[in-house]
Chains A and B, each alone.
Chain A
């Protein structure tokens, strides 16, 4: 469970051009569910997701991760929750690497290197043995039916293949939470539906999925468990389909 309490994110605070991207959001996201953040661009979805994903810190408020096997060296015995906003940079990075997998709007794959290397990329700095994560990457490629592309460079891939490579990369470190920012923005309807199917499968494997999107295919999908509607940095509606 992810618990957000009074999260506010302002940019350029104290200056005339100050603006608040996320304004006092208090929210609970359940584990092993698909939660969609819906709203027009500029509504604060991306900022909120990047704070949950330990990429940025809120200006104020706190975020708790409950029941996540977060790699925090000093985690106390018996206490199964971490407050991530006060953690130092190093631990934040460790949590981000081990707990979260990211899928970006532009896929953000590195050109010139092979599909397999792209998928393994997030595992490189973890210090894990290459043989281990290589086997895992190959298994993921197999799972997404792109094993035949393993040696190919990413610029030769089609949109659907790119998307599956990006998902495989998000899964390489075995995260429990997947964060996807506008994943279907550059996909046609067929591929968008395929994406949702994959997301449904991931949920079935016990992963939590957080998606920011204003695509009806995503937020009207029967697969999703919770929908959070945002506007101007604030949550305007929140419903759970279960």
Chain B
């Protein structure tokens, strides 16, 4: 047992000495490997955590949202729709929602304005997200100046600023009373932005949706599971620049790694011959090559994953936030709650460490089985 351990240590010792011989090459290989793992793992952590946040938010979402389309565009929903939909069997509640976007000409930001008859808000009072507060430099008790549709200033007192840990939901949000909402936008009474429909039995959702679509041909019901699907396919990298960058990095790495790992130079072949001639067994040589691949790939995997975790969950994923931020003026702090998907990490492991290590060993197989006396014949 002790001898076997010593043998591993000794051979590992030689592996490290031998890797250090081509320090620049192997360190750059390690750095590149690390970068690829870091980006892939960061992406995976980021998306998994976002999916979790989306799942939490969706647990409160209405079973169905009914929009109305006019000339192919979303339009206001008349109140009678709500009353009639409420009469459909299986529908437990219909709530007309008032919400929209507010463009802040002062700093070019877009806010989401939602009307809510929460008693905490009340007329001329407002709750805002941390992003809005930051963009306008506001504190609780300050007045939030908004410009109404007819360019008249509307001053609302800030009663709540949502803490920044709710940024992923509410960074750009302004919540006001329905009365203020209608006044601000000259929103016609008896109309709503869309309808939130609750259904008793989730299995009946498609039936209810079909009934609504039949009863109101201009309506467009969006089911909760469709929204869920959106978030399952979030970051569908259709032609995204990140994908291109990622793919090119990955491919150049594969070529580089292949060249490094698979190409057995004459020198390496000779070295294997020398080792064999001085008493190394085939298994010793293969163990050496195994360590050679494992030292690089395992280090890159472990360190890359740990760094990615720090990047996404402690530093709020600055790399991806940039891509999502785009031209946004108000953007959330990506203070994600950590999620680790062991299965996906295992996939990452088997897609990176295993092929690399194998690619290092396989080409040596033949060279390692040469006769020990071959070295005497050079």
Chain A residues proximal to chain B, CB less than 8 Å: 46-47, 49-50, 53, 55-56, 89-90, 93, 96-97, 100, 102, 104-106, 108-114, 117, 121-130, 169, 173, 181
Contacts and interface: CB of A to CB of B under 8 A. Distances in A.
B284 A125 contact: yes
Contacts, number: 95
Contacts of A96: 279, 372
A109 B375 CA distance: 11
B322 to A, nearest CB: 42
Contact of B11 (A110, A112, A122, A124): A124
12 contacts: A50-B376, A53-B373, A90-B281, A102-B277, A108-B277, A108-B375, A113-B18, A117-B14, A122-B278, A125-B10, A125-B11, A125-B280
Interface string B325-364: 0000000000000000000000000000000000000000
Interface in B86-117: none
B13 interface: yes
A102 B278 contact: yes
B6 interface: yes
B10 A130 contact: yes
Given A53-B373, A114-B17, 13 more contacts: A46-B376, A55-B376, A56-B372, A97-B279, A102-B277, A102-B278, A108-B278, A121-B14, A122-B278, A124-B14, A125-B11, A125-B281, A129-B6
Question: Which label, helix, strand, loop or mixed, suits the secondary structure of the B interface?
Answer: helix
Given A117-B17, A122-B279, A104 B375 contact: yes
A110 B376 contact: no
A124 B7 contact: yes
Could you say which interface size class chain B belongs to? 20 to 34
Given A104-B277, A108-B278, A121-B14, A126 B7 contact: yes
The 7 closest A-B pairs by CB, nearest first: A127-B3, A112-B21, A50-B373, A55-B373, A97-B279, A124-B10, A127-B7
Interface of B: 2-7, 9-11, 13-14, 17-18, 21-22, 267, 271, 273-275, 277-281, 284, 371-373, 375-378
A125 B375 contact: no
A46 B9 CA distance: 34
Nearest to B271: A110
Nearest to B378: A106
A139 B363 CA distance: 38
Contacts of B13: 124, 130
A47 B373 CA distance: 8
Given A90-B281, A97-B279, A113-B18, A128 B372 contact: no
